[in-house]
Amino acid sequence: MKTTFREPQAQSPKAHGKKILLALAGAGLLLGALNASATPEQDRQSLLKFYSSKYPDIKVANYIYGALAFDPDAMEQYNSIMDFPPFGSVIEHGKKMWETPFKNGKKYADCFPNGGKNVAGNYPYFDDKAGKVVTFEMAINACRTANGEEAFKYNDMQTMGTLTAYARTLSDGMPMNIKVQGAAATAAYEAGKSQFYSRRGQLNFSCASCHVANAGNHLRSELLSPAVGQATHWPVFRGGEQLVTLQERYVGCNKQVRAVPFAPGSEEYNNLEYFHSYISNGLPLKASVFRK
């Protein structure tokens, strides 16, 4: 029988945080559930096993739909909206940005293999020479600066958000294909994993509080999505209008638990995205979709 995870309306943050932690303990899944010495692939398989055991009727392939996988009515609404998405003009604008030449005559497509098609699923990757994780947005900015243009701000939805709303659709259907190879890459992955499982904020939540321990349960009126599959469909249009990138969603989640967020493009969020994307390996990308 599915349980419901609801936030009380008239409690102090401290009291509320304690109650949620008790609920997590009762569920038998404390944060940090993944073995600290596990390989990335063991982490991914452990999460898949957990979700499959908890929700045996939901196919792994449907995790790309997030919370919609738990709600047939919401899934039907999603399909109806995606037939004629109200945000089509934003994607068209992003396409125009992608195809408009830089001052030197080159285009974004010149910076990526296959003109930028079927590449987004390889991001983030660990750049051994630079010694850091590189996201798709960072690669776009590297393209811009290499061609004499100014870098976009990672939290600017009018520029980076709109551009990636189109650019990522060029990789729709590509399986997520994140590699973690070598000691430095593993260290970055582990840092991202730590971000995912670390409690923070006045409510003492982690990403895992909602998206592992309580995936499929309700928080107030909203169903909580599983972590596996989450990284496959960004950016999204929440409510059909509000454009949100993955790292902007990290910011929003941190604020919701009353924690001070990191900046989009920070090392902390880049490492988190590295871990978050790896656990969705093998699932197909589908960018610029509707979400509630």
Catalytic residues: 253
Residue 144 counted as an annotated binding residue: no
The two tokens of residue 164 are 């990636």
200 is in an annotated binding site: no
Does the annotation list 168 as a binding residue? no
93 among annotated binding-site residues: no
267-278 and 40-54 are packed helices; what angle lies between their axes, rounded to 10 degrees?
60
Q: Is 111 marked as a binding-site residue?
A: yes
Here the contacts of 141-147 (C-beta below 8 Å, separation 24 or greater) are: 142/111, 143/108, 143/110, 143/111, 143/112, 144/102, 146/111, 147/102, 147/103, 147/104, 147/106, 147/111
Those residues whose C-beta lies under 8 Å from the C-beta of residue 47, and which sit 6 or more positions away, are: 34, 212, 226, 227, 228, 279
Residue 233 annotated as part of some ligand binding site: no
Alpha helices by DSSP H, listed for 87-245, are: 88-99, 136-146, 162-167, 183-197, 207-211
Q: Parallel, antiparallel, or unpaired: how do β-strands 132-134 and 218-219 relate?
A: unpaired
Residue 220, annotated ligand binder? Answer: no
Q: Which residues pair with 244 in a beta bridge?
A: 236
Residues tagged in the binding site annotation: 111, 143, 207, 210-211, 249, 253
Residues tagged in the binding site annotation for substrate: 249
Residues tagged in the binding site annotation for heme c: 111, 143, 207, 210-211, 253
